[in-house]
Amino acid sequence: MNLLVSRQTRPLSGRVKVPGDKSIGHRAVIFGALASGHSNVFGLSGGEDNLRTVSALRSLGVHIRPIESGIQIDGVGIAGFKPARSEIDCGNSGTTIRLLSGLLAPCGFATVLDGDQYLRRRPMGRIGKPLEQMGATIAGAAGKKPGEIYAPLTITGGNLHGITYISEVASAQVKTAILLAALAADGETSITEPLRSRDHSERMLSALGAPLQVDGTTVRVRPASWDRKLARFELRVPGDFSSAAFLLAAATLVEGSDVTVEAVGINPTRTGFVDVLEKMGANISVENRRDENGEPIADLRARAAPLSSIDIAGELSLRAIDELPLIAAVAACANGDIRIRDAAELRVKESDRVAATATMLRSFGAECEEHDDGLTIHGGTPLVAGVVPSHGDHRIAMAGAILALRAEGNSTIEDTANIATSFPNFVELLRTLGASLQSS
């Protein structure tokens, strides 16, 4: 499927809600499987990624049934999973394959985890190394980088012991995989990151009674201090911040626009995008703040505004890591140069997002320079209609669609079926706000 996007000549306006946060959704379903009794989860994104995690858990013997506006999960506990009858297909979801690896590490059987052609390019040694140190066996396919492993992965569980692990990357997926394994390990486990990654797992696990302690960028788990049972729970997943970011960006770029996205999760480890845009001069307000299930939530309102140059690096790059391709698209419409640094992690996402973002920008006539750890975008160049390859990456496809709203003429975003992995009603919501998009 392709998208045809026309330059936006009238303002975008309205109030909308985005699908549930898929990061929280993955964790809620997995923690529900680990809990005692029935847990209810409402507002899952409906995207392909979350559905892959639900399907995987069903393959492992977890009973998950639909209920009104959500699902009910019959928890099996840490030792209750059963061998899958065949390999588990994680699709395009890096979160699914990495979190399941940690979940399966203490199980006394082998499981094969695989995915699509894009997932098979993503490095898995970052989870394989700590899980093997804990006592599991992780076998993966060889790839272009010597010493690295890739899907399909074979996870053979074992009796685990605690470790002290210093992670080379700040990654919530790596951290959560280790935390899941640590819940069933003998002895204390500690994980230290170079910078603090998103903390949904720590918030949720602590609320459910897991023995976690957070000290700066270090998380400790002490299994000896609990009965290895998570409490049953009921959770309403907040709106996905990363999805809301595309609508906020569109409102910022299209003259005269005024858009509000309701009930969005504003966890401070996720909201670097808003901080970046505000530093660039965007008009974004946070309204109706409240707290649900340990996660801060608010309505986010964006109005069109001129943007200026900024450098994005360090902790700010980490907190906006998923939105950096979108920030690059916004930067193409700003005045002056914008430099994105400390974002080498983008090289190993669903695509090489540094290269894919540069290609996307150049498709519209924007000027940019690619670096090992990011990009420099020279804003203010007049944009022309482009043909944008998505490289199988939903964020590149959506960022291209947003930038096309400012490009003269009709632009085509190729291979956009992948958008369904995270934001299945992306096109519908933009149309609701008044944008000119059509599928082909």
Residues labelled catalytic? 322
Strands 189-192 vs 13-17: parallel, antiparallel or unpaired: unpaired
**CA trace torsion 25, 28, 31, 36 (10° rounding):** -140
Report angle CA 132, 137, 143 to the nearest 5 degrees.
Answer: 90
Nearest to 209 by CA among 225, 194, 187: 225
Q: What share of the chain is helix, strand, coil (3-state, %, to 5)?
A: 35, 30, 35
Nearest-angstrom CA–CA distance, 12 and 253: 10
Spacing of C-alpha 179 from chain mean position: 18
Length of the chain: 440
Contacts of 423 (CB under 8 A, 6+ apart): 18, 19, 45, 47, 240, 243, 246, 394, 398
Nearest-angstrom CA–CA distance, 237 and 274: 20
| E strand map for 328-421 | 336-340, 367-371, 374-379, 387-389, 410-414
State which amino acid sits at residue 293: N
H runs (alpha helix) in 271-367: 272-280, 314-319, 324-331, 353-363
3-class state of residue 315 by DSSP: helix
State which amino acid sits at residue 152: P
Nearest-angstrom CA–CA distance, 146 and 334: 40
Are 413 and 404 spatial neighbours (Cβ–Cβ below 8 Å)?
Answer: yes
Nearest-angstrom CA–CA distance, 343 and 347: 8
Are 430 and 402 spatial neighbours (Cβ–Cβ below 8 Å)?
Answer: no
Nearest-angstrom CA–CA distance, 80 and 52: 20
Are 405 and 437 spatial neighbours (Cβ–Cβ below 8 Å)?
Answer: no
Terminal CA-CA length for the chain: 6
